[in-house]
Structure 1
Amino acid sequence: MKEKLKAYFALAFICIVWGTTYLAARVGVKDFPPFLFMGMRQTMAGILLVLFLLLSGKKLVLSWSLFRQQLIPGLCMITFGNGIIGWSVQYIPSGMAALICSMIPLYIILINLIIDRKDNMNWQITLGTFLGLAGILVIFRDHLAELQNKEYLAGMIITIASCISWAAGTIYTQKNKKGSDPILNASVQLFTGGAGLLLMSMLFERNAELPPISTSTFLAWIYLVVIGSVAAFAAYLYALSKLPVGLVTVYAYVNPLVAVILGFMILNERINFYTVVAAAIILCGVYLVNTGYRLKTNTNQ
């Protein structure tokens, strides 16, 4: 019972914290190369988690098989999931990125259905899927003028792709539970995913003359490392190890609301009628998909 309670606290923590990371990422990459910024964030977070485990007296069993097992979720969730959003929020509002990412539970369940073809979509999952897609169309409709900007359009498309990548990594993690410590798994995933981002920085960014690190960039980096990566990602993996994946993904209901409100209050990001409608449609869709998934699970038990 205590483990369940801890898992619910971990879930509540990520519900709030991950909503703030979109704002922090946008502040951080404003004057700094995004892949380098996010790569430094994640690799440092991985190192800090390992140090935490060492200081807590836990025996670390690091092996090639562990690295190999965590490489796929590290690349999916960190490099091509969370990491590339740092590039996207240079060109799209942080609140919009959060709204698009709120569809991650929908992608998770759809990918699960594709993998297990014996499953059939009930009406809740079907309706929820169409509502989620409709919400994305409303977002595009609200930003038709901005879509003429290729960087703005690319930011939206890359954000959608990052959500699919994160969903795939989440499913892989859920289906490949091992006896290793979830925090150790998190550290390896953060380090390998961050290394992937640093490699992308070497390939795609001009880092010969880095701009001076401003106070806001440094504070955003510290916050993202300590709170957004170390604490929240460890809490996410802990919740995944103790709770059903459909329940854990409830964080996606809260994250976009936190991000939109903070973006409006701090960065003066626009909130209008279409933004509110898109948020309502997407969240209703995600709710229906999760409801349909739980009904299917209960029926099959």
Structure 2
Amino acid sequence: MHKTAEAPRWLVWLAFANIYLVWGSTYLAIVFGLDGIPPFILSFMRFLTAGVILFIWCLLKGESVPSVRNLSLNAVCGTLMLVGGSGLVTWAEQYISSGSAAILIATEPFWFVLLDKKCWSTYFSHKLIIGGLVIGFTGVILFFVLPGKASGMPASEEHVLAYLVLLGSSVLWVVGSLLSKRTDNQQDSTVMTTAEQLMAAGVVSFIISLFTAEWSGFSVATVSVKAWGGLAFLIVMGSLVAYLSFVWLISVRPPALVSTHTYINPVVAVLLGGLFAAESITPGQVAALVIILIGVLLTNIPNYKKQLVTTA
């Protein structure tokens, strides 16, 4: 039973605004951050700074230093989810619009269904889930058969590669999430676990930036004010405020209601990209978004019903 009575209404609305608008805005913030900061250096700065802030906060609250075992587990999960997920999104946004990136990342619920083998018997016994998968991947195919029309950008090998990387990014996020879920018997708090994952992701992003020679062409003097602003937004609003809002909402509202950010984030990203980054919004892009989100809705309906009945 969720403790809905103790949650102030204004705080609930503020938290929902954070996970709807802030998470949707991070795609645009990445575009700004890339104006002078290479992708994995940007990810390194974002993740490590946010992780250290959370880690210090946990220590000040009296939490103990994590064990080597927990650090190792969370390092793997953080690398998969944050480097494989958000880091690859940052890399892909060098070549495609932020709206296109957000739309393809909205396919994550499909990969949860396909990769969570333990629940296959439940998932594939629902016609709605099967139909949702078919409809959702039809929207994904639209991006590949109509690259110029659907994404609002000219067709090229780089754009197709970016699309494939984003799909792989979604898969890595889901794999990391499933692994994290199955190793949740550790003693660390949720915030400490997040701090460990963020710091590990920052270190791995730094190592990747060395191997990709990003530092050789990087100069702090050439980074624009807009890029520093984008980085600050990603650290404070994206990795701290929005995530903590999400964690808190899960404790006071039904998960089915909280998960509605899946539908709002890509819409926010597409609109902001058009308004502030001069990204074109084409009928093909809108059609692909609608088709994918219909698929997401259908795959989630059985779970929504179950959760709402449980929390009633």
What's the TM-score, normalizing by structure 2?
A: 0.86
Instruction: Determine which of 174, 182, 201 is the counterpart of 2:181.
Output: 174
- Is 1:203 equivalent to 2:211 in the alignment? yes
What is the CA-CA distance between 1:71 and the residue it aligns to?
1.8
Hey, what does 1:118 align to over in structure 2? 121
Instruction: Determine which of 14, 22, 25 is the counterpart of 1:17.
Output: 22
- Is 1:135 equivalent to 2:142 in the alignment? no
- Is 1:38 equivalent to 2:43 in the alignment? yes
Q: Is this contact kept in 2: 1:46–1:187, CA < 8 A?
A: yes
- Is 1:191 equivalent to 2:199 in the alignment? yes
Hey, what does 1:73 align to over in structure 2? 77
Hey, what does 1:26 align to over in structure 2? 31
Bigger mean CA offset, 240-249 vs 135-144: 240-249
Task: State the alpha-carbon separation in 2 of the partners of residues 53 and 133 from structure 1.
Answer: 41
- Is 1:266 equivalent to 2:267 in the alignment? no
What's the TM-score, normalizing by structure 1?
A: 0.89
Task: State the alpha-carbon separation in 1 of the partners of residues 138 and 99 from structure 2.
Answer: 18
Instruction: Determine which of 131, 150, 161 is the counterpart of 1:154.
Output: 161
> RMSD over aligned Cα, in angstroms?
2.7
Task: State the alpha-carbon separation in 2 of the partners of residues 175 and 243 from structure 1.
Answer: 23
Task: State the alpha-carbon separation in 1 of the partners of residues 97 and 183 from structure 2.
Answer: 35
Instruction: Determine which of 155, 164, 168 is the counterpart of 2:171.
Output: 164
Call closer, same or farther: CA 1:107–1:3 in 2, change over 3 Å: farther
Counterpart code for 2:122 = D
What is the CA-CA distance between 1:141 and the residue it aligns to?
3.2
What is the CA-CA distance between 1:271 and the residue it aligns to?
0.8
What is the CA-CA distance between 1:30 and the residue it aligns to?
3.0
* Unmatched tracts of structure 2, length 5 or more: none
How many matched pairs? 299
Task: State the alpha-carbon separation in 1 of the partners of residues 240 and 5 from structure 2.
Answer: 20
Task: State the alpha-carbon separation in 2 of the partners of residues 267 and 202 from structure 1.
Answer: 29
Counterpart code for 2:290 = A
For residue 62 of structure 1, give the secondary structure of its aligned residue in structure 2. coil
Counterpart code for 2:47 = Q
Question: What is the 5 A alignment of 1:235-274?
Answer: 235-239=245-249, 248-274=258-284
Call closer, same or farther: CA 1:115–1:246 in 2, change over 3 Å: farther
Q: Deviations over 1:233-257 (max 9, x none)?
A: 3334455677776655432111000
Counterpart code for 1:76 = L
Counterpart code for 2:92 = S
Bigger mean CA offset, 33-42 vs 8-17: 8-17
Hey, what does 2:96 align to over in structure 1? 92
For residue 118 of structure 1, give the secondary structure of its aligned residue in structure 2. helix
- Is 1:279 equivalent to 2:283 in the alignment? no
What is the CA-CA distance between 1:175 and the residue it aligns to?
3.1
Counterpart code for 2:303 = Y
Counterpart code for 2:111 = Y
Instruction: Determine which of 36, 55, 58 is the counterpart of 1:53.
Output: 58
For residue 279 of structure 2, give the secondary structure of its aligned residue in structure 1. coil
Task: State the alpha-carbon separation in 1 of the partners of residues 21 and 170 from structure 2.
Answer: 18
Counterpart code for 1:218 = W
Task: State the alpha-carbon separation in 1 of the partners of residues 309 and 48 from structure 2.
Answer: 42
Task: State the alpha-carbon separation in 2 of the partners of residues 18 and 130 from structure 1.
Answer: 27
Task: State the alpha-carbon separation in 1 of the partners of residues 251 and 200 from structure 2.
Answer: 20
Call closer, same or farther: CA 1:147–1:243 in 2, change over 3 Å: farther
Counterpart code for 1:47 = V
Call closer, same or farther: CA 1:202–1:242 in 2, change over 3 Å: farther
Hey, what does 2:235 align to over in structure 1? 225
Call closer, same or farther: CA 1:195–1:187 in 2, change over 3 Å: same
Q: Is this contact kept in 2: 1:125–1:293, CA < 8 A?
A: no
* Unmatched tracts of structure 1, length 5 or more: none
Q: Is this contact kept in 1: 2:80–2:175, CA < 8 A?
A: yes
